[in-house]
Structure 1
Amino acid sequence: MAINFDNALGVHQYTLGVRAKRAEVLSSNIANANTPGFKARDVDFASAMQAATSRQQGLSMTKSHEKHFDLTALSQQHVKFRVVNQPDTGDGNTVDMQQEQSAFMQNSLEYQMSLGFLESKFSGMRKALRGD
């Protein structure tokens, strides 16, 4: 009997891709905190997860072999400009370092949590295959 990884791993396989993309966006915000005119962005997690799990627009990677899984990549359509919650400093930059660092730390913790969930899923599959 073949293993269906979508059923075996659940949503956790998709959360890793979305959280990795969010880490890229948040780190870009932090790196551009002093760039005049830079607008802070963030990932719309709900729509990105819906797209990833619906298979219509999941995580896309280059498929170099016919036996590779076909995942769809998180596109830029799920990256939105963040609503400004601080007054303009005069240079047009909308990055709030405290908010960005807080969001980055929370995203990192959630990424680690998703890795832990996946590890437990793989551990369970290993036990089932070994007959433990």
Structure 2
Amino acid sequence: MDLSKLAIFKMAKDRLDWSAQREKVLSQNIANADTPNYKAKDLKELDFKNLALSQSKRVNMVRTNAAHMSGGLPDSGPYQEKVERYPYESSPDGNEVILEEQMSKLGETKSQYTMSVQLLKKHLNMIKIATRSGR
């Protein structure tokens, strides 16, 4: 069985790849915290909503019982996403790396990575249980 063809595994792999790449970029920021005129970098946020939507279009949900809930996506509601810009200070030598901010982002990235690994483990375990019960 090729697990990379299953949507949940592809999405988790994309999240793991993004987390690893972001950790590398944030580590470079921390390593250059004393480099004059160094500008902190970050990756564009992984749009998990669009990733999930693109994967969910491949799956057709079917109601096999009238008591089952109908499938579909919920309405987004009255809330809209808003992009906020946080101007941070820079040092006298032009360096814009704030170590506390970078460490916070690293912790956040580690949490996202751990969550993706746990999700993969749970789904693998679920597949193992499903294949054992068929014997």
TM-score (norm 1): 0.65
Find the aligned partners of 2:32 and 2:25 in 1 and give their Cα distance.
Answer: 11
Q: 5+ residue gaps in structure 2?
A: 55-84
Contact 1:37 1:92 in 2 (8 A): yes
Find the aligned partners of 1:96 and 1:115 in 2 and give their Cα distance.
Answer: 29
Alignment match, 1:123: 125
Q: 1:24 to 1:127 in 2, by over 3 A?
A: same
Q: How many residues align?
A: 104
> What is the aligned-residue identity percentage?
28
Q: 5+ residue gaps in structure 1?
A: 55-82
RMSD: 3.0
Q: 1:4 to 1:91 in 2, by over 3 A?
A: closer
Find the aligned partners of 1:93 and 1:29 in 2 and give their Cα distance.
Answer: 10
Higher relative contact order (CA 8 A, sep 6+): 2
Find the aligned partners of 2:98 and 2:3 in 1 and give their Cα distance.
Answer: 45
Alignment match, 2:11: 11
Alignment match, 1:31: 31
Say which one has the larger Rg.
2
Alignment match, 1:20: 20
Q: 1:115 to 1:3 in 2, by over 3 A?
A: closer
